[in-house]
Protein backbone atom coordinates (compact mmCIF):
# COMPACT_ATOMS: atom_id res chain seq x y z
CA UNK A 1 0.00 0.00 0.00
CA UNK A 2 1.37 3.43 -0.89
CA UNK A 3 0.32 7.01 -0.10
CA UNK A 4 -1.72 7.29 -3.27
CA UNK A 5 -3.75 4.20 -2.38
CA UNK A 6 -4.27 5.45 1.18
CA UNK A 7 -5.52 8.77 -0.23
CA UNK A 8 -7.85 6.97 -2.62
CA UNK A 9 -9.22 4.86 0.23
CA UNK A 10 -9.65 7.99 2.36
CA UNK A 11 -11.80 9.41 -0.45
CA UNK A 12 -13.94 6.27 -0.43
CA UNK A 13 -14.46 6.57 3.33
CA UNK A 14 -15.15 10.31 3.13
CA UNK A 15 -17.80 9.79 0.45
CA UNK A 16 -19.60 7.31 2.67
CA UNK A 17 -19.34 9.52 5.76
CA UNK A 18 -20.77 12.55 4.00
CA UNK A 19 -24.31 11.29 4.72
CA UNK A 20 -23.82 12.87 8.19
CA UNK A 21 -24.61 9.59 9.96
CA UNK A 22 -22.45 8.20 12.74
CA UNK A 23 -20.95 4.96 11.42
CA UNK A 24 -19.71 2.05 13.50
CA UNK A 25 -16.38 0.63 12.37
CA UNK A 26 -17.73 -2.73 11.20
CA UNK A 27 -20.54 -1.09 9.22
CA UNK A 28 -18.08 1.29 7.58
CA UNK A 29 -15.77 -1.61 6.78
CA UNK A 30 -18.61 -3.51 5.11
CA UNK A 31 -19.76 -0.44 3.16
CA UNK A 32 -16.28 0.35 1.85
CA UNK A 33 -15.12 -3.19 1.18
CA UNK A 34 -11.71 -2.22 2.59
CA UNK A 35 -9.56 -4.49 4.74
CA UNK A 36 -8.85 -3.51 8.35
CA UNK A 37 -5.40 -2.27 7.33
CA UNK A 38 -6.74 -0.20 4.44
CA UNK A 39 -9.61 1.23 6.48
CA UNK A 40 -7.41 2.12 9.43
CA UNK A 41 -4.92 3.90 7.18
CA UNK A 42 -7.77 5.83 5.53
CA UNK A 43 -9.23 6.79 8.91
CA UNK A 44 -5.79 7.96 10.03
CA UNK A 45 -5.45 10.07 6.89
CA UNK A 46 -8.82 11.73 7.43
CA UNK A 47 -8.19 12.22 11.15
CA UNK A 48 -4.83 13.88 10.43
CA UNK A 49 -6.58 16.24 8.01
CA UNK A 50 -9.19 16.96 10.72
CA UNK A 51 -11.98 15.74 8.45
CA UNK A 52 -13.55 13.17 10.77
CA UNK A 53 -14.49 12.98 14.40
CA UNK A 54 -14.99 10.07 16.72
CA UNK A 55 -18.08 9.50 18.84
CA UNK A 56 -17.14 7.11 21.63
CA UNK A 57 -19.32 5.76 24.38
CA UNK A 58 -19.13 2.65 26.52
CA UNK A 59 -20.63 0.35 23.90
CA UNK A 60 -19.68 1.77 20.50
CA UNK A 61 -17.01 3.72 18.69
CA UNK A 62 -18.49 5.63 15.77
CA UNK A 63 -17.00 7.84 13.09
CA UNK A 64 -18.58 10.82 11.42
CA UNK A 65 -17.67 13.62 9.08
CA UNK A 66 -16.20 16.74 10.67
CA UNK A 67 -17.26 19.85 8.83
CA UNK A 68 -15.25 23.01 9.27
CA UNK A 69 -17.06 26.16 8.24
CA UNK A 70 -14.99 29.28 7.76
CA UNK A 71 -16.63 32.62 7.25
CA UNK A 72 -14.12 35.12 6.07
70 or 60, higher pLDDT? 60
Q: Summarize the confidence of residues 3-23 as an average pLDDT.
A: 90
Cross-strand partners of 24? 62
At 10 the pLDDT is 95
Strand order in the sheet with 52-56: 23-24, 61-65, 52-56
Banded pLDDT at 59 (limits 50, 70, 90): low
Q: Is the pLDDT of residue 65 over 70?
A: no
The domains of the chain, with CATH numbers, are 3-65 (1.10.10.10)
Report the alpha-carbon distance of residue 55 to residue 65 in Å, rounded: 11
* Nearest-5° Cα angle at 19, 31 to 11: 60
Q: Can you give the length of the chain in residues?
A: 72
pLDDT digits (tens, 9 = 90+) for 15-55: 998 887 888 888 899 999 999 999 999 999 998 888 888 77
Q: What is the pTM of this model?
A: 0.81
Helix (H, G, I), strand (E, B) or coil at 18: coil
Amino acid sequence: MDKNQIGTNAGIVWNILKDNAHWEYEDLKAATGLSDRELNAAIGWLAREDKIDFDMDQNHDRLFLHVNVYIG
